[in-house]
Structure 1
Amino acid sequence: MDYRRQWRPGGCYFFTHTLLDRTQTLLSDQIEILRTAFRLVKKRYPFFIHAVVVLPDHFHCLLELPQGEHDFAIRFRLIKMYFSRALAIQEPRNTCRIRRRERGIWQRRYWEHLIRDQQDFLNHINYIHWNPVKHQLVKLVLEWPYSSFHSYVALGWYPLNWCGDTQNSGFINIGGDDG
Protein backbone atom coordinates (compact mmCIF):
# COMPACT_ATOMS: atom_id res chain seq x y z
CA MET A 1 0.00 0.00 0.00
CA ASP A 2 1.16 3.53 -0.74
CA TYR A 3 0.75 5.67 2.38
CA ARG A 4 1.09 9.35 1.71
CA ARG A 5 1.76 11.65 4.62
CA GLN A 6 1.35 15.40 4.50
CA TRP A 7 4.44 17.04 5.91
CA ARG A 8 3.79 20.70 6.73
CA PRO A 9 6.37 22.65 8.75
CA GLY A 10 4.65 24.01 11.86
CA GLY A 11 1.55 21.98 11.00
CA CYS A 12 -1.21 20.96 13.35
CA TYR A 13 -2.24 17.30 13.10
CA PHE A 14 -4.77 14.87 14.51
CA PHE A 15 -3.31 11.44 15.31
CA THR A 16 -4.62 8.07 16.37
CA HIS A 17 -2.15 5.44 17.63
CA THR A 18 -3.43 1.98 18.48
CA LEU A 19 -2.20 -1.08 20.30
CA LEU A 20 -1.73 -4.18 18.17
CA ASP A 21 -3.95 -6.20 20.50
CA ARG A 22 -7.14 -4.15 20.87
CA THR A 23 -8.21 -6.23 23.89
CA GLN A 24 -5.31 -4.93 25.97
CA THR A 25 -5.64 -2.04 28.40
CA LEU A 26 -1.95 -1.13 28.53
CA LEU A 27 -2.33 2.56 27.80
CA SER A 28 -4.70 3.36 30.65
CA ASP A 29 -3.08 0.78 32.95
CA GLN A 30 0.38 2.26 32.32
CA ILE A 31 -0.64 5.92 31.93
CA GLU A 32 2.37 7.24 33.89
CA ILE A 33 4.80 5.43 31.58
CA LEU A 34 3.02 6.93 28.56
CA ARG A 35 3.10 10.42 30.11
CA THR A 36 6.82 10.03 30.82
CA ALA A 37 7.43 8.96 27.22
CA PHE A 38 5.65 12.08 25.94
CA ARG A 39 7.67 14.32 28.30
CA LEU A 40 11.01 12.76 27.32
CA VAL A 41 10.37 13.16 23.61
CA LYS A 42 9.00 16.68 23.99
CA LYS A 43 12.28 17.81 25.60
CA ARG A 44 14.30 16.72 22.58
CA TYR A 45 11.72 17.26 19.83
CA PRO A 46 9.31 20.02 20.93
CA PHE A 47 5.61 19.96 20.14
CA PHE A 48 2.40 21.34 21.61
CA ILE A 49 -0.58 19.18 22.42
CA HIS A 50 -3.87 21.03 21.97
CA ALA A 51 -5.98 18.05 23.05
CA VAL A 52 -5.44 14.42 24.00
CA VAL A 53 -7.35 11.42 25.23
CA VAL A 54 -5.83 8.11 26.26
CA LEU A 55 -8.11 5.10 26.14
CA PRO A 56 -7.18 1.53 27.15
CA ASP A 57 -6.09 0.46 23.65
CA HIS A 58 -5.48 3.67 21.69
CA PHE A 59 -4.97 7.39 22.01
CA HIS A 60 -5.92 10.45 20.01
CA CYS A 61 -4.12 13.76 20.09
CA LEU A 62 -4.13 17.09 18.34
CA LEU A 63 -0.48 18.05 18.09
CA GLU A 64 1.18 21.15 16.67
CA LEU A 65 4.80 21.22 15.54
CA PRO A 66 7.09 24.22 15.97
CA GLN A 67 7.57 26.56 13.02
CA GLY A 68 10.00 25.01 10.55
CA GLU A 69 9.56 21.49 11.96
CA HIS A 70 7.72 18.86 9.94
CA ASP A 71 8.82 15.48 11.29
CA PHE A 72 6.00 14.18 13.48
CA ALA A 73 6.97 10.58 12.71
CA ILE A 74 10.15 10.66 14.77
CA ARG A 75 8.25 12.04 17.74
CA PHE A 76 5.74 9.20 17.76
CA ARG A 77 8.33 6.56 16.96
CA LEU A 78 10.25 7.64 20.07
CA ILE A 79 7.14 7.93 22.26
CA LYS A 80 6.13 4.40 21.32
CA MET A 81 9.69 3.14 21.76
CA TYR A 82 10.10 4.66 25.25
CA PHE A 83 6.72 3.31 26.32
CA SER A 84 7.48 -0.18 25.00
CA ARG A 85 10.96 -0.37 26.50
CA ALA A 86 9.61 0.52 29.95
CA LEU A 87 7.39 -2.59 29.94
CA ALA A 88 8.50 -6.13 30.64
CA ILE A 89 8.38 -8.38 27.55
CA GLN A 90 5.26 -10.49 27.94
CA GLU A 91 3.68 -10.34 24.50
CA PRO A 92 4.20 -13.06 21.90
CA ARG A 93 6.50 -11.98 19.07
CA ASN A 94 7.08 -13.62 15.72
CA THR A 95 10.52 -13.86 14.11
CA CYS A 96 9.89 -10.81 11.94
CA ARG A 97 9.17 -8.65 14.99
CA ILE A 98 12.18 -10.05 16.82
CA ARG A 99 14.44 -9.37 13.80
CA ARG A 100 13.13 -5.80 13.55
CA ARG A 101 13.46 -5.40 17.33
CA GLU A 102 9.74 -4.64 17.58
CA ARG A 103 7.84 -5.45 20.70
CA GLY A 104 4.51 -6.27 19.13
CA ILE A 105 2.73 -3.76 21.34
CA TRP A 106 1.75 -1.12 18.77
CA GLN A 107 0.17 -1.33 15.36
CA ARG A 108 2.79 -0.35 12.79
CA ARG A 109 0.61 2.21 11.05
CA TYR A 110 -1.28 5.12 12.52
CA TRP A 111 -3.88 7.61 11.45
CA GLU A 112 -2.75 11.17 10.78
CA HIS A 113 -4.77 14.10 9.50
CA LEU A 114 -3.46 17.60 8.75
CA ILE A 115 -5.83 20.15 10.25
CA ARG A 116 -7.22 22.35 7.47
CA ASP A 117 -8.86 25.27 9.27
CA GLN A 118 -10.36 26.50 12.55
CA GLN A 119 -13.56 24.46 12.18
CA ASP A 120 -11.59 21.29 11.46
CA PHE A 121 -9.48 22.07 14.56
CA LEU A 122 -12.57 22.48 16.77
CA ASN A 123 -14.23 19.36 15.35
CA HIS A 124 -11.19 17.27 16.23
CA ILE A 125 -10.94 18.68 19.76
CA ASN A 126 -14.57 17.76 20.30
CA TYR A 127 -14.04 14.31 18.79
CA ILE A 128 -11.09 13.69 21.10
CA HIS A 129 -13.02 14.67 24.21
CA TRP A 130 -16.16 12.73 23.22
CA ASN A 131 -14.21 9.53 22.46
CA PRO A 132 -14.49 7.80 25.89
CA VAL A 133 -18.28 8.14 25.67
CA LYS A 134 -18.28 6.94 22.06
CA HIS A 135 -16.43 3.79 23.16
CA GLN A 136 -18.83 3.33 26.09
CA LEU A 137 -16.08 3.60 28.70
CA VAL A 138 -18.07 6.23 30.60
CA LYS A 139 -21.51 7.79 30.36
CA LEU A 140 -20.31 11.37 30.80
CA VAL A 141 -17.24 13.01 29.28
CA LEU A 142 -16.21 14.39 32.67
CA GLU A 143 -15.90 10.85 34.10
CA TRP A 144 -12.88 9.89 31.97
CA PRO A 145 -9.67 10.90 33.77
CA TYR A 146 -7.16 10.56 30.89
CA SER A 147 -8.28 13.50 28.79
CA SER A 148 -7.45 17.15 28.24
CA PHE A 149 -11.17 17.81 28.68
CA HIS A 150 -10.56 18.73 32.32
CA SER A 151 -8.05 21.43 31.31
CA TYR A 152 -10.58 22.87 28.89
CA VAL A 153 -13.20 22.98 31.65
CA ALA A 154 -10.72 24.83 33.89
CA LEU A 155 -10.18 27.38 31.09
CA GLY A 156 -13.96 27.84 30.77
CA TRP A 157 -14.14 26.50 27.21
CA TYR A 158 -16.41 23.59 28.13
CA PRO A 159 -19.02 23.37 30.86
CA LEU A 160 -18.31 20.53 33.28
CA ASN A 161 -21.45 18.69 32.15
CA TRP A 162 -20.67 19.11 28.42
CA CYS A 163 -22.77 16.66 26.40
CA GLY A 164 -24.18 15.36 29.66
CA ASP A 165 -27.58 16.99 29.38
CA THR A 166 -29.79 18.56 26.74
CA GLN A 167 -28.87 22.09 27.83
CA ASN A 168 -25.15 21.68 27.14
CA SER A 169 -24.87 19.30 24.21
CA GLY A 170 -23.17 21.69 21.78
CA PHE A 171 -19.54 21.67 20.83
CA ILE A 172 -17.04 24.28 21.89
CA ASN A 173 -16.26 27.48 20.10
CA ILE A 174 -12.83 28.33 21.45
CA GLY A 175 -12.05 31.98 21.68
CA GLY A 176 -15.29 32.99 20.01
CA ASP A 177 -18.68 34.16 21.10
CA ASP A 178 -21.53 31.79 21.85
CA GLY A 179 -23.27 32.44 18.53
Structure 2
Amino acid sequence: MMGAQTEIYWTTFTHSLFNGLPLQVAASERGLCLIALPDDTHMNLKLWIGKKFPNAKLIEHQNRLSPYLEQLQSYCEGESTSFELPLDLQGTSFQISVWKALMKIPFGQIRSYYDIAKMIQNPQAVRAVGSANGANPIPIVIPCHRVIGKNSTLTGYSGGLQAKEKLLRLEGYCDYTVLGHARFDF
Protein backbone atom coordinates (compact mmCIF):
# COMPACT_ATOMS: atom_id res chain seq x y z
CA MET A 1 0.00 0.00 0.00
CA MET A 2 1.45 3.37 -1.00
CA GLY A 3 1.42 6.37 1.32
CA ALA A 4 -0.49 9.51 0.48
CA GLN A 5 1.25 11.93 -1.85
CA THR A 6 2.61 15.03 -0.11
CA GLU A 7 0.98 18.25 -1.24
CA ILE A 8 2.98 21.48 -1.24
CA TYR A 9 1.01 24.67 -1.69
CA TRP A 10 2.58 27.77 -3.15
CA THR A 11 1.74 31.28 -4.23
CA THR A 12 3.46 34.61 -4.73
CA PHE A 13 3.77 37.59 -2.40
CA THR A 14 4.57 41.04 -3.72
CA HIS A 15 5.61 44.10 -1.71
CA SER A 16 7.32 47.39 -2.47
CA LEU A 17 10.10 46.41 -0.06
CA PHE A 18 11.25 44.06 -2.83
CA ASN A 19 10.66 46.61 -5.60
CA GLY A 20 7.32 45.01 -6.43
CA LEU A 21 9.01 41.77 -7.48
CA PRO A 22 7.32 38.57 -6.30
CA LEU A 23 8.52 36.24 -3.60
CA GLN A 24 7.37 32.64 -3.93
CA VAL A 25 5.97 31.20 -0.73
CA ALA A 26 5.44 27.46 -0.18
CA ALA A 27 4.03 25.39 2.66
CA SER A 28 3.36 21.76 3.42
CA GLU A 29 0.58 20.53 5.70
CA ARG A 30 3.11 20.90 8.55
CA GLY A 31 3.98 24.54 7.89
CA LEU A 32 5.93 27.10 5.90
CA CYS A 33 8.83 25.41 4.12
CA LEU A 34 10.15 27.92 1.57
CA ILE A 35 10.29 31.60 0.74
CA ALA A 36 12.05 32.12 -2.57
CA LEU A 37 13.27 35.70 -2.88
CA PRO A 38 12.68 37.67 -6.10
CA ASP A 39 15.91 36.68 -7.84
CA ASP A 40 14.96 33.01 -7.62
CA THR A 41 13.06 31.30 -10.44
CA HIS A 42 9.98 29.12 -10.30
CA MET A 43 12.10 26.30 -11.71
CA ASN A 44 14.38 26.55 -8.66
CA LEU A 45 11.31 26.35 -6.42
CA LYS A 46 10.22 23.18 -8.23
CA LEU A 47 13.72 21.69 -7.97
CA TRP A 48 13.98 22.49 -4.25
CA ILE A 49 10.53 21.01 -3.55
CA GLY A 50 11.41 17.92 -5.61
CA LYS A 51 14.61 17.41 -3.62
CA LYS A 52 13.12 17.99 -0.17
CA PHE A 53 9.71 16.42 -0.82
CA PRO A 54 10.22 13.68 -3.44
CA ASN A 55 7.08 12.98 -5.48
CA ALA A 56 5.24 15.93 -3.92
CA LYS A 57 2.40 17.51 -5.78
CA LEU A 58 2.95 21.28 -6.15
CA ILE A 59 -0.35 23.18 -6.02
CA GLU A 60 -0.81 26.91 -6.49
CA HIS A 61 -3.28 27.98 -3.79
CA GLN A 62 -3.27 31.52 -2.46
CA ASN A 63 -6.07 30.98 0.08
CA ARG A 64 -4.22 28.08 1.67
CA LEU A 65 -1.22 30.38 2.21
CA SER A 66 -3.15 33.45 3.37
CA PRO A 67 -2.08 33.13 7.05
CA TYR A 68 1.56 33.21 5.94
CA LEU A 69 0.99 36.07 3.50
CA GLU A 70 -0.84 38.14 6.11
CA GLN A 71 2.08 37.87 8.54
CA LEU A 72 4.61 38.67 5.80
CA GLN A 73 2.53 41.71 4.83
CA SER A 74 2.32 42.88 8.45
CA TYR A 75 6.09 42.51 8.86
CA CYS A 76 6.89 44.30 5.58
CA GLU A 77 4.58 47.16 6.56
CA GLY A 78 6.44 47.55 9.86
CA GLU A 79 3.34 46.55 11.82
CA SER A 80 4.74 43.39 13.44
CA THR A 81 8.14 42.38 14.73
CA SER A 82 7.78 38.61 14.87
CA PHE A 83 6.14 35.65 13.19
CA GLU A 84 3.84 33.07 14.74
CA LEU A 85 3.83 30.45 12.02
CA PRO A 86 4.25 26.70 11.90
CA LEU A 87 7.44 25.79 10.05
CA ASP A 88 8.40 22.66 8.18
CA LEU A 89 12.20 22.87 8.30
CA GLN A 90 13.98 20.79 5.68
CA GLY A 91 17.72 20.58 6.26
CA THR A 92 20.47 18.75 8.08
CA SER A 93 20.47 18.69 11.87
CA PHE A 94 23.33 21.22 11.83
CA GLN A 95 21.46 23.57 9.49
CA ILE A 96 18.31 23.33 11.59
CA SER A 97 20.30 24.13 14.75
CA VAL A 98 21.66 27.26 13.02
CA TRP A 99 18.20 28.28 11.78
CA LYS A 100 16.74 27.88 15.26
CA ALA A 101 19.55 30.07 16.63
CA LEU A 102 18.74 32.70 13.98
CA MET A 103 15.15 32.79 15.18
CA LYS A 104 16.42 33.85 18.62
CA ILE A 105 17.96 37.07 17.28
CA PRO A 106 15.59 39.83 18.39
CA PHE A 107 13.95 42.17 15.88
CA GLY A 108 16.22 45.12 15.11
CA GLN A 109 19.37 43.43 16.40
CA ILE A 110 22.21 41.65 14.63
CA ARG A 111 24.69 38.91 15.36
CA SER A 112 27.90 37.81 13.67
CA TYR A 113 28.51 34.34 12.27
CA TYR A 114 30.82 33.77 15.23
CA ASP A 115 28.01 34.74 17.63
CA ILE A 116 25.76 32.13 16.01
CA ALA A 117 28.51 29.50 16.20
CA LYS A 118 28.81 30.21 19.94
CA MET A 119 25.00 30.05 20.32
CA ILE A 120 25.00 26.51 18.94
CA GLN A 121 27.99 25.66 21.15
CA ASN A 122 30.34 25.11 18.22
CA PRO A 123 32.57 28.23 18.07
CA GLN A 124 34.90 26.62 15.52
CA ALA A 125 32.07 26.24 12.98
CA VAL A 126 31.94 29.85 11.82
CA ARG A 127 32.22 29.05 8.10
CA ALA A 128 29.75 26.17 8.40
CA VAL A 129 27.34 28.59 10.11
CA GLY A 130 27.78 30.89 7.11
CA SER A 131 26.93 28.03 4.75
CA ALA A 132 23.87 27.05 6.79
CA ASN A 133 22.81 30.68 6.88
CA GLY A 134 23.06 30.82 3.09
CA ALA A 135 21.01 27.63 2.76
CA ASN A 136 18.14 29.03 4.85
CA PRO A 137 14.99 28.18 2.89
CA ILE A 138 12.75 30.59 4.83
CA PRO A 139 14.45 33.99 4.77
CA ILE A 140 12.70 36.86 6.54
CA VAL A 141 10.82 34.49 8.88
CA ILE A 142 14.11 32.84 9.82
CA PRO A 143 15.99 36.15 9.97
CA CYS A 144 19.29 35.35 8.28
CA HIS A 145 19.37 39.03 7.27
CA ARG A 146 20.22 39.80 10.92
CA VAL A 147 23.63 38.14 10.55
CA ILE A 148 26.44 40.42 9.45
CA GLY A 149 30.22 40.26 9.52
CA LYS A 150 32.05 40.65 12.83
CA ASN A 151 33.45 43.92 11.48
CA SER A 152 29.87 45.23 10.90
CA THR A 153 29.93 44.68 7.13
CA LEU A 154 26.92 43.44 5.26
CA THR A 155 27.71 39.98 3.98
CA GLY A 156 26.02 37.87 1.34
CA TYR A 157 22.27 37.45 1.18
CA SER A 158 20.39 35.25 -1.25
CA GLY A 159 18.09 38.14 -2.16
CA GLY A 160 21.01 40.52 -2.67
CA LEU A 161 22.65 42.99 -0.33
CA GLN A 162 20.10 45.70 -1.16
CA ALA A 163 17.29 43.48 0.10
CA LYS A 164 19.29 42.69 3.26
CA GLU A 165 19.87 46.39 3.81
CA LYS A 166 16.16 47.17 3.33
CA LEU A 167 15.17 44.47 5.84
CA LEU A 168 17.66 45.76 8.43
CA ARG A 169 16.48 49.35 7.91
CA LEU A 170 12.85 48.22 8.23
CA GLU A 171 13.83 46.85 11.63
CA GLY A 172 15.57 50.12 12.53
CA TYR A 173 19.12 48.76 12.38
CA CYS A 174 21.51 50.95 10.39
CA ASP A 175 24.88 50.50 12.12
CA TYR A 176 26.60 48.51 9.37
CA THR A 177 29.13 49.08 6.62
CA VAL A 178 28.33 48.38 2.99
CA LEU A 179 31.40 46.91 1.31
CA GLY A 180 29.75 44.60 -1.18
CA HIS A 181 31.25 41.17 -1.51
CA ALA A 182 34.76 42.08 -0.39
CA ARG A 183 36.52 39.77 2.04
CA PHE A 184 34.54 39.57 5.26
CA ASP A 185 35.51 39.06 8.84
CA PHE A 186 33.04 36.44 10.00
Question: What TM-score bracket applies, with the shorter chain setting the length?
Answer: under 0.3
TM norm structure 1? 0.23
Larger Rg: 1
**Which structure's relative contact order is higher, taking Cα pairs within 8 Å and 6+ residues apart?**
1
Output the TM-score relative to the length of structure 2. Answer: 0.22
